[in-house]
Copies of this chain bind each other. A is one copy, B any other.
Amino acid sequence: MILSIVEVLQCRVIENSTVTVHGWVRTRRDSKTGISFLAIYDGSCFNSLQIVINNTLPNYNNEIRRLTTGCSVSITGKVVKSLSIGHNYEIKASKIEVIGWIDNPNTYPIAAKKHSLEYLREVSHLRSRTNIMGAVIRIRHTIAQAIHRFMNENGFLWVSTPLITASNTEGAGEMFRVSTLDLENLPRSHNGKVNYDKDFFGKEAFLTVSGQLNGESYACAMSKIYTFGPIFRAENSNTSRHLAEFWMVEPEIAFATLTDISVLAESMLKYLFKTVLIESYDDIQFFTKFFNKEVKNSIIKIINTDFAQIDYTEAISILQKNSKNFKNTVFWGMDLSSEYERFLAEKYFQAPVIVKNYPKNIKAFYMRINDDEKTVAAMDILVPGMGEIIGGSQREERLDRLDARLTEMGLNKENYWWYRDLRRYGTVPHSGFGLGLERLIAYITGIQNIRDVIPFPRTTKNISF
């Protein structure tokens, strides 16, 4: 019977059964008594499996003693209780087959030693073989599964919104152009400009920065939907918080107010944090032990703390009372930069905080104008140690107000004809938010650079692998 390593470690067979496992060598240790030990991993869990090998195996000298980190092996033997500390079960090998050797072990890029995360990015095709990236990928999987499960159990339908789009959603953020034109021989119109009629889509096309507007169209028929897919930003910012390509979950709910989605966002975050603690416990333990001792505590704190709720206006007044902490003047109408967000969550509330009702002038056209005519029904969720993790709003469902806002912001109504149609035909109050998957995983694992929580990061000047 072939078992994965997690199945052996949990002894999902009768003790002393003979099983086969496949995996890669983490380390090899030879004792003086003629017994060798291999630590084998296969990605199924954090822990390695210990293989106990007697020198009586026929290929002991010519193969087993030549095994190095990274070699792939097939091992057959008995599952037995382990006498070694930290191992529940191990395998007493009766047969070891070497499947793949390491081409020159001395130059193997991820030999068994500590590598910096920066270095590992240069070998992204191999870094999933390390403890740390293995843990990241399992946590990423756990979170993604939990997102789909949470949404499904709460009656949301997954909707895939298009990645290639002709429209610039928010009138904000640099976009990537998508084209099949031959750049060495661009077709021209009479006026000498590039003729996009000849392009694949017959007009200019870009990679989307958000699925929200398309998602609204589906929420205004199916009531509760979510998107979960990749999003693109061509921002030229070479920081630890930006990726050109990342994954985002965006729920959108009809007949829902800002309060409704604030409640949803808090319960969703708590569900995700709880799930990761249960289902990826060993991986979280690893990050806590070897990476950042606050990891587990900060997860537990999110689960057990009621999120604070304040208005933007209240936030400004708190910041003003604490102005000695900041270099620049705090004033009503300013955007809250990360410095202010972290002060509120880390210092003042010492808890996640939902800031609501921001000035309309710093927010997007689609957010619902409040009765004060100065603010919009927007919310951001700020968490200690990071700042914003979720941003959402109630959408403007009143056609006249939406049109006024488009005009005010110099946007062309014609380009939003179908979005305006949603307000002409059975319009409903509706709200939604966006949660970036990579920011969330960085927060959970305590990893500082977002490039280390996605398999193959895309950033300025970096498209390797």
Chain B residues positioned under 8 Å from A223 (CB to CB)? 4, 22-23, 42-44
Residues A463 and B100 in contact in the complex (CB < 8 Å), given A245-B163, A428-B22? no
CA distance A200 to B419 in the complex (A): 31
Residues A180 and B174 in contact in the complex (CB < 8 Å), given A244-B200, A426-B70? yes
B177 with A214: CB separation less than 8 A: no
Smallest distance from the beta carbon of A132 to chain B beta carbons, Å? 12
Let me know if A320 is at the binding interface, CB within 8 A: no
B134 with A463: CB separation less than 8 A: no
Give the residue name and chain of the B residue nearest to A104 (CB). B424
CA distance A15 to B95 in the complex (A): 66
- B140, B174, B230, B399: the one contacting A229 at CB < 8 Å is B230
Q: Which of A422-444 contact B (CB under 8 A)?
A: 422-429
CA distance A183 to B184 in the complex (A): 10
- B161, B166, B194, B399: the one contacting A455 at CB < 8 Å is B161
B456 with A155: CB separation less than 8 A: no
Give the residue name and chain of the B residue nearest to A419 (CB). B125
Q: Which of A178-215 contact B (CB under 8 A)?
A: 178-181, 183-184, 186, 193-194, 200-203, 205, 207, 214
A205 with B100: CB separation less than 8 A: no
- B177, B186, B426: the one contacting A24 at CB < 8 Å is B426
Let me know if A269 is at the binding interface, CB within 8 A: no
A100 with B397: CB separation less than 8 A: yes
Chain B residues positioned under 8 Å from A103 (CB to CB)? 399, 424-425
B164 with A102: CB separation less than 8 A: no
CA distance A456 to B100 in the complex (A): 46
Which 10 residue pairs are nearest across A and B when measured between Cβ atoms? Answer: A43-B222, A100-B427, A128-B221, A103-B424, A201-B463, A22-B255, A125-B418, A72-B426, A202-B461, A129-B221
User: Considering residues A141, A244, A397, which has the most beta carbons from chain B within 10 angstroms of its beta carbon?
Assistant: A141
In the complex, besides A4-B223, A22-B428, 16 extra interface pairs with C-beta distance below 8 angstroms are: A43-B221, A70-B426, A99-B426, A125-B422, A138-B157, A140-B160, A141-B159, A162-B455, A174-B180, A183-B194, A200-B244, A200-B461, A205-B463, A230-B230, A418-B464, A418-B465
Chain B residues positioned under 8 Å from A309 (CB to CB)? none
Let me know if A37 is at the binding interface, CB within 8 A: no
A461 with B161: CB separation less than 8 A: no
Smallest distance from the beta carbon of A411 to chain B beta carbons, Å? 17
Let me know if A462 is at the binding interface, CB within 8 A: yes
Q: Which of A47-81 contact B (CB under 8 A)?
A: 70-72, 74
A245 with B162: CB separation less than 8 A: yes
A43 with B157: CB separation less than 8 A: yes
B162 with A200: CB separation less than 8 A: no
Smallest distance from the beta carbon of A111 to chain B beta carbons, Å? 10
Give the residue name and chain of the B residue nearest to A465 (CB). B418
Let me know if A278 is at the binding interface, CB within 8 A: no
Give the residue name and chain of the B residue nearest to A25 (CB). B426
A461 with B201: CB separation less than 8 A: yes
CA distance A186 to B186 in the complex (A): 10
Q: Which of A102-155 contact B (CB under 8 A)?
A: 102-103, 108-109, 124-126, 128-129, 134, 137-138, 140-141, 144-145, 148, 152, 155
Pick 6 A–B contacts, CB within 8 A, sort by A. A44-B155, A145-B158, A184-B194, A200-B236, A201-B463, A230-B230
Let me know if A271 is at the binding interface, CB within 8 A: no
Give the residue name and chain of the B residue nearest to A216 (CB). B125
Chain B residues positioned under 8 Å from A165 (CB to CB)? 463
Smallest distance from the beta carbon of A276 to chain B beta carbons, Å? 14
Smallest distance from the beta carbon of A78 to chain B beta carbons, Å? 20
Give the residue name and chain of the B residue nearest to A42 (CB). B223
Smallest distance from the beta carbon of A213 to chain B beta carbons, Å? 9
A180 with B176: CB separation less than 8 A: yes
Residues A177 and B183 in contact in the complex (CB < 8 Å), given A126-B421, A422-B125? yes
Let me know if A369 is at the binding interface, CB within 8 A: no
Smallest distance from the beta carbon of A289 to chain B beta carbons, Å? 21
Chain B residues positioned under 8 Å from A463 (CB to CB)? 162, 164-166, 201-203, 205
